[in-house]
Structure formats: C-alpha cells, structure tokens
Structure 1
C-alpha cells in the first residue's frame, strides 16, 4: 500500500531516492593547508551559504504554514489510485509527436493571425518574431520543468511545487479555463462556418455542434490510441491541405501591390489628388509601433498549445527521454508553417485590406487569385473548400483542447483540488470519463454564451479570457522556474538550460508577457475581461479555502513533494546523483502495474476455483 509514513519514521530503504548525509557532503577527503587569503575566501563562501540556507529555511517554513500545513491530506490505497490511473506507456514517439504538433499547429484558429493586418503588414511580421522569441523562451522553461517533474497536472504541478497547494489550485484552474474557453471558441466557430456553408439560419448553429461533439467524445472514450489516430488524420488535412491551397496562389505573388500599395485601403491615409504616396515604411507600419506588443499577445492564438504537453506525461512511453526531442520538432514545425503562411499569403490576392476579415486567409487567398466567389457570396467552390479544409481544422482545434481539459481536470481531481470522483477512469479505455463529460459540458455552455452574447461583456470575456488565463499561467510558470532553479539545485534535470540561459529565458517570459498585458489593459474590453476572470477565480478559490482544501489526497506526486523535495534544497547543487522525480514516479507506476496484475491473477485463480467447485457440486447433484 502506498501510504505516507508518520513524521517520526524513517524513509523506507527501498525508495528510489538516495539519502546522503550532509556531513559527508561537507567533508574534504584530502585536506590541505590554506593560506590566509584562501581561508578568508572560504569564510565568505560559508557566510554566503549560511545566509542562503537561512532564507531557504524561512521560505520553506512560511510555505508550509500557509500551504501544505493548511491543507488536510487523506491517505489512499492502491484501489483508489488504480481507479484513477490512465493507460501507461500508451503513446510511443510518433503518437507523442502527433499530439504535440496537433496542439501547436492550428493555423485556422478562431482568432487568426490575419486580424493583425489591420495595423499593417510590418506590425504583423514584428509581432510574429516577438511572439516566436517569447514563446520559444517559455517553451524552453516548460521543457526543463516537465522532464524534471514528469507528474500529472500540467503547469499546476510546477506552481504547486514552487509555491504550495494554493498556487497549484489557482494556476491549475487558470489552465483549465484556458482550455475550456479555447474549445468553446472552436464550437462557436464551427457552428458559424457550417451555417454559412449550408446557408442555414445562424440562430440554429448550435445544432451543428452535436455531430462534431459526438465525434470528439467517441474518439476520446475509445482510448488515447484511437484519439491520436483521429488527430493524425485531421493534422494531415490541416497542414498539407491548407498549404497546398496556398501554392497555386503564389503564381500571383506581388508584395508591392498586395502589401505595400494595398495598405492605403486600410483607412489610415487620406491622400488627395496629386499628393505623393506615403513612404514604404509608413505603409508597412501605418499605426506606428504601439500595436506591436498587443499584437504579440494576439499571436499567442496561433503559437500557443504546447503548454499542454506535460499533461501527457503518464500516457507517454519513455516521456522523459522522448519529450524534449519531440517537442523541439513540434516547435520547429509550427514556426516553419506559420512563417511560410504569414510571410507569403498577404503577398497574393486579394490584398491585406481584404484579407484582414477572412475566416481562413489561405482559402480566401486562393478564391481571390482565381476569381471564385467568397463564402459570404455563397460561392460553391468556397463552400466546398471551407467544409473540406477549414472545418477539419477547427475540429482538430476543439479535439485537442477537449483532450487537454479532460486531462487537466482529471489531474486536479485526483489530488483533491476538485471532487475526487471526477478523476475516475473507464475500466477498458482508461479515459477519465467524468472529467471528459465535465470538460465538454463546460465548453458547450461557454459556446452558448458566445453564440447568443458574443457582443456583450460576457461573450467578450469568454473570447478574450482564454488569452488572459494563458498569460497568467505562463508568468506563474516562469516565476516557479526561477524559484526552483535557486531553491532546489539538487533536483535532477534531464534537460538543463543551465544557470544563465534558464533564468534569462524565464525573465524574458515575465517581462514580455507582463508588458504586453499592460498594453492590453488600456482597452476597456480587456479590463472588463480581467474583472470577469478574477471573479471566477475568486469564487473557486473561496470554495477551495472553505471546503476542498480539507479533502486533499496524498497521491504519489504529493508524497514526493512533501517528503523528498526538501532534500533537493540541500547544498549548492554539487550532488551528482540528484533527487530524481522521474525515477520515483517510474517506480511507483511499475509497482501499481504489478499490484494490478497480481490482483487480476488472484481474481482469475478465485474464478477458476469457483468454477471447479461448481462443477463438482453439479456432478454430485446428478449422481
């Protein structure tokens, strides 16, 4: 039985964590005479270490008083954990890559990159570069954390490890809301698109959600392997279908005509007859540099998604080994595809002034290049292309975020942040069925608000709230990284950015996203959105403080954090073996699998004995 020992008991000798006495670490096996200068230097180092350890001790004491010690944890047995265990090692390297790439490559997301063309092509390009750099820094930080702590819970586990269970609940809820609202935007968008394709009343658009919702629900309930196959098909249509539409349009490639000259039609210039045309720089940046930072944040709708990668830790095979390599490939893929599309598509018909309002800029560029009627003009070719290419794109978008929401809610429920019954999995497919139902219900409910209140405060809050929740989580993860880098130097890091590059990436993330938020909050709609977001989180935190914190569960992840994490805070990072969280979880999962197999063998043996007994009794009765 996996239970936490009492506070005064020693750790079991068969645990995967090696405990090395501190006195042994401080001993010098070959002492040498020290000069006065070296003795002074050593005294300075000792004082520095003492101060550092004192700060760490005080910080740990405060964190425990206001965090772990403020919660009540229930000990659970193997049956509890086995009823809440996803399918182990179900996803090999290719399956992991499909999930990572699918989460990142959603070119036709509900709010696409082409909306930034309203401020000029130059603003779009600079925002894209800044978004790539900032997200790459966040990606690097996330990658180090997720293989250092390969636990369930996504970004919530990093916040919980660094700042305690209250921060874990808060960031986990932000992440869950991000995924819920992104999926809701997908449902809303797919209904609007199908209404245009089939020329039906937009008020009945929610009826189109039903068949697509059934497809996503069935794919998830069939198991993660089947779900990955569905994602692979949709990903192929998304990437190769979308890019193949762009290729014929390149025959009309003319940056001067469709990017520079067409900027006049954006409405920022009032040129009278005989007046000279503005300079190229003015046409590329008609509104100056002010929209660049908000534009960088808006680009997150096109480059976000890989933050859900830690949620696959339990289902991925050799996750710690495979995840860094595959996530790098996924990131390069999304950057390459987006750069290809963003750089080329505005340079073909119909021009940036028209493309800014396109649902799918690639399809609209193809239609304009060959003089086909657009979707708003009920063009037959447009209807076919939107249904064959754009609808699968949005369906992939919804599927990935529903999957992420279900795994996030599953992880939070398993540890007790939400009711624990929600974390139960299906006996055969190992899908977290209650979390899946709850995820889809929340997304569909939010989509209904978008459908009928899109122009109101609530609808706008749901549209923009996903972005704010994501940025809050990104900033929190960066701060968690900075603390763990300094506070847990002995925590084993299979992917290590180093003491300079890692903190630098985290600082870039914090600085970029914080300054971008400051720019966004100059708009009234984002201030209203912030109030709605904080209100929802405030109500959830109140429920957690008053009720749920007293019903937490001592899962293996929590056991590691509470008992062994402080060992990683000892010393200056000179221990070569480190405290290996991955080895801990691997041993725990192997033990659970062995216990489950033993239980199944015992049940099979008992069934066999019952059958033999029944046959004997039947034979005696006949005799």
Structure 2
C-alpha cells in the first residue's frame, strides 16, 4: 500500500524551513571563497549567484505548487521527461542533501571547540547527528516548530554580530587585495572568481528543500510561495551583510580557510575573553543547528520518495507506526553523513579541506538538480499546458531562462576547477544508474501507486 505523509505545516513553519535550511551558509563555508577570489571578487560572485537563486526560486515555485510531492525535483523531472530524468534529478538532490549535513556537523564541532578545546570536533559532529535524527523521527510538526524557533534565533544572532563588529569595520580592510590577493582586477582574479562559485552557492544551498515538505504543508499552493519568496529575500540581505562586516574588521585572509569565520572576526574587535564572543558561539550554533536539522528533514523525504517509487530499496520508505515519520530514511542518510565525517583522506581533494570538499560535492548535486528542474519547467509548459499552476513562474520564459543559463555557467566552472570531484560525482551517478536499470521491474510493479503519489 502506498505510504503518505500528513499535512501539518503552516506558512511560518515553511518560512522557517526555507531560511533554516540555508542559514548555516551565513555562518561558515562561504569564506573559503575568499581564498581564491578575494573579498571584492567574491562579492561579485555572490551577487551573480544571488541573481541565479532569486530567478530560480521565482520559477521553481511553479513546480512545487503545481506538483506537491515529497520527492520534489525528482517528481517534476519524472513527470516532464520520464523515469530516467527522474533518476538524474533524484540522484542529484540526494547528493546535495546527504553531503551537506556532514559539512555542517563539522562546523558545529568547530564552534563547540571554541568552548571545549579538548573535545574532538568529529565526536561532537556525530553527537549532533544522533540528537537531530532523533528529533526528526519524533515528529515533523515538532521538528518544524523547533526549526522555526532556532531559525529566528539564528537571524537575531547574525544581526547582533553585525552590530557588535560594526565599530571595527573599515572599508580599507575589506577592499585590501580584494581581487584574488591583488589590489586591481586581472584575468587571474577572474579565474579565482570562477573557482569560488561553490562557496557562493553555499550561501543559498538547499532552500529548495521546502519542496520536499510539500506533502506535509497545509494549503501548499498558498503557503509555499510565501515561504519561498520571503525566504530568499531574507537570505540575500543576511548574506551580503555578514560577508561585508566580517571582511572589514581586520585581515580577511585569516578567515578564508576556517570553519568558524564569525567568531574569529569578532575576536578581532572585542577580544578573546569578551562575553559577546561567547554569546556568538552559543547562540551562533542555532544557525548551524537550523540548517543541519532542516536538511535532515529534506534528505529523509527525498530518500523516502525515491524508495516509495522504486528508485531505492523499498524498505527505506517505511513510516514509523507511532510518529508517522520516514525513520529508516532518516537513519540511512545519517549513516552516509557520519561516514563522510571520518573520510578525510577519501574526500579531501585538490588541496581542499574536508569541509570544502564536502561542500563542493553537495553543490555539484544542487547545480545538476537546478538545471534539470528548469528544463522540467519548460518541458511541462509544453507537454501539460492545462496543468493547474497556482503560482506561475514570474516573467516566463525570461526569468526561468536566466536561472537555467546561470546554473549551466556555474556547472561548467565547477567542473573546470574541480575535475576530480566532478569525476567522482559522475562515477557515483553511473553506479546509481546501474542500480536504476536493474530495478526496472520493481518500478513497473509500483507504477500505479507511484502515479497516485505524484
């Protein structure tokens, strides 16, 4: 019998999820982009990526509201182009959402080490997995309410950070050697800017995860557009503010290769023993927790939907008899994430740190999914012109085309500057495709039920 998730989430829950899924990107990860692009070069890249995400969200919302399905992009691509396209979108989304949490968990460990230097960051990262997988299993409404609360606290803390470091801000600090280590723009700086694209994407990565809560949303045709639009506007403002203030308080090069740039930036203004610094560490954890917890919700729904429709082993689609959550999918993603945390030698490539490598792998999945989703939007406009679209893509076809073209530019740049990681991503997709081919009969048997779920 087909398994369904219950609609329990309102617009505030969904806004909290939209922002919470992403907000850890304001706390860490993005500063690795300074290492290759510099502050000014990275600012240009971040604005470029913000344009891509804004146009993407105003287009993607059409798909989410027209086809509210826990599989999100996978469901749209399957409906537009068939099972193979559904596989590509589903695999890409799975890579994005399974590889993002270990990077965030490592940042949680780095933040906690500021307070507890003798405790292993990896041990604390694993502890975070245990706590938040448990919370997600207990119930989606409880999880979403928690997500909303920690997201609001995380936003408050980012505003506090900007206010506390503002007296130490200097434009001269921010622009010094701001073009990839040089004071003036050059072709070398342009190369560094392209290399920094994954870290600008990290500012906004996973906002599309709200689509995977669509089955659990009350009146998704109204609540999801509100959550998406308010969410992307919130995140653009926060991303620019955090980047500018952190880069202007001292030597920004010291923040370009660390997992905790905000505490380190605040140290330059208030010193190591300030109460403000300790408050940032503790309250700042809410930003990391919000994304970590929200992405666990996202990857579990993706695994659940793929398993329910025969793209993954069917036992992963089991729903807990008491809590009504896809508990096996939650645990399965956690096992992969914890393995990634302890795979330093396997995942660190091309001089990148473990965190930077995991971030880049997650971004590969995201960009492929964005491209397939925009193609699906165009495909469904042609094949199903009468499909009810409660929120039609703004500025169609220009705005979706902008999102598609910019996503393609990002993918080409990422492959060029991360050849080995791109090859690994392609290799994983090839292995998954072999499984996809071997389970054709399994999907055929589930076809009527899958069509009902979609």
Identify whether the pair has TM-score above 0.5, normalized to the shorter chain: yes
- Structure 2 Cα separation of the partners of residues 286 and 336 of structure 1: 29
Map of 1:251 onto structure 2: 167
Matches within 5 A, 1:442-461: 442-450=336-344, 453=346, 455-456=348-349
Map of 1:152 onto structure 2: 70
Q: Structure 1, unaligned stretches of length 5 or more?
A: 1-79, 269-277, 374-378, 562-623
SS in 2 for 1:123: helix
Q: Deviations over 1:301-351 (max 9, x none)?
A: 01122211111111110011211122111111111211222233322x213
Map of 1:537 onto structure 2: 429
Q: Is the 8 A contact 2:34 2:180 kept in 1?
A: no
1 or 2 for the larger relative contact order (CA 8 Å, sep ≥6)?
2
Q: Is the 8 A contact 1:120 1:285 kept in 2?
A: no
Matches within 5 A, 1:281-296: 282=184, 287-296=188-197
Map of 1:96 onto structure 2: 14
Q: Structure 2, unaligned stretches of length 5 or more?
A: none
Map of 1:38 onto structure 2: none
Q: Give the number of equivalent residue pairs.
A: 450
- Structure 2 Cα separation of the partners of residues 214 and 297 of structure 1: 28
- Deviation of 1:247 (Å): 0.4
Map of 2:311 onto structure 1: 417
Q: Deviations over 1:535-562 (max 9, x none)?
A: 111111111212354344135551487x
Specify which of 162, 177, 197 is matched with residue 263 of structure 1.
177
- Structure 2 Cα separation of the partners of residues 521 and 326 of structure 1: 32
Matches within 5 A, 1:536-575: 536-552=428-444, 553-554=446-447, 558-559=451-452
Q: Is the 8 A contact 2:37 2:179 kept in 1?
A: no
Q: Deviations over 1:569-605 (max 9, x none)?
A: xxxxxxxxxxxxxxxxxxxxxxxxxxxxxxxxxxxxx
SS in 1 for 2:388: coil
* Alignment of 1:206 onto 2:98: no
Q: Deviations over 1:330-385 (max 9, x none)?
A: 111111211222233322x2132333345333332322112x13xxxxx6869734
Map of 1:298 onto structure 2: 199
* Alignment of 1:480 onto 2:376: yes
Q: Is the 8 A contact 2:29 2:359 kept in 1?
A: no
Higher helix share: 2
Map of 1:435 onto structure 2: 329
Question: Are residues 401 and 380 of structure 1, via their aligned partners in 2, closer, same or farther at CA, if it must alter by over 3 Å?
Answer: same
Q: Is the 8 A contact 1:180 1:405 kept in 2?
A: yes
Map of 2:297 onto structure 1: 403
Question: Are residues 192 and 101 of structure 1, via their aligned partners in 2, closer, same or farther at CA, if it must alter by over 3 Å?
Answer: closer
- Structure 1 Cα separation of the partners of residues 250 and 33 of structure 2: 15
Specify which of 416, 419, 428 is matched with residue 527 of structure 1.
419
Map of 1:86 onto structure 2: 5
- Deviation of 1:390 (Å): 3.7
- Deviation of 1:434 (Å): 1.0
* Alignment of 1:315 onto 2:216: yes
Q: Is the 8 A contact 1:417 1:549 kept in 2?
A: no
Question: Are residues 210 and 254 of structure 1, via their aligned partners in 2, closer, same or farther at CA, if it must alter by over 3 Å?
Answer: closer
SS in 1 for 2:390: coil
- Deviation of 1:508 (Å): 1.8
Question: Are residues 117 and 453 of structure 1, via their aligned partners in 2, closer, same or farther at CA, if it must alter by over 3 Å?
Answer: closer
- Deviation of 1:483 (Å): 1.4
- Structure 2 Cα separation of the partners of residues 192 and 259 of structure 1: 25
- Structure 1 Cα separation of the partners of residues 289 and 441 of structure 2: 37
Map of 1:10 onto structure 2: none
- Structure 1 Cα separation of the partners of residues 150 and 453 of structure 2: 39
* Alignment of 1:517 onto 2:411: yes
TM-score, structure 1 normalization: 0.67
Which structure is larger by alpha-carbon Rg, 1 or 2? 1
Q: Is the 8 A contact 1:144 1:494 kept in 2?
A: yes
Bigger shift: 144-153 or 103-112?
Answer: 103-112
Map of 2:367 onto structure 1: 471
- Structure 2 Cα separation of the partners of residues 264 and 226 of structure 1: 44
- Deviation of 1:440 (Å): 1.0
Question: Are residues 190 and 326 of structure 1, via their aligned partners in 2, closer, same or farther at CA, if it must alter by over 3 Å?
Answer: closer
Question: Are residues 461 and 242 of structure 1, via their aligned partners in 2, closer, same or farther at CA, if it must alter by over 3 Å?
Answer: closer
* Alignment of 1:178 onto 2:96: yes
Q: Deviations over 1:38-91 (max 9, x none)?
A: xxxxxxxxxxxxxxxxxxxxxxxxxxxxxxxxxxxxxxxxxx12xx2222x211
- Structure 1 Cα separation of the partners of residues 13 and 199 of structure 2: 29
* Alignment of 1:330 onto 2:246: no
Q: Is the 8 A contact 1:221 1:429 kept in 2?
A: yes
Q: Is the 8 A contact 1:220 1:403 kept in 2?
A: yes
SS in 2 for 1:367: helix
- Structure 1 Cα separation of the partners of residues 123 and 191 of structure 2: 41
Question: Are residues 184 and 548 of structure 1, via their aligned partners in 2, closer, same or farther at CA, if it must alter by over 3 Å?
Answer: farther
- Structure 2 Cα separation of the partners of residues 399 and 367 of structure 1: 28
Q: Is the 8 A contact 1:117 1:124 kept in 2?
A: no
RMSD: 2.7
Q: Deviations over 1:247-290 (max 9, x none)?
A: 0221233213x123x3289754xxxxxxxxx6xxx2x7794433
SS in 1 for 2:196: helix
Q: Deviations over 1:406-443 (max 9, x none)?
A: 01001111111112221121122211111111111111
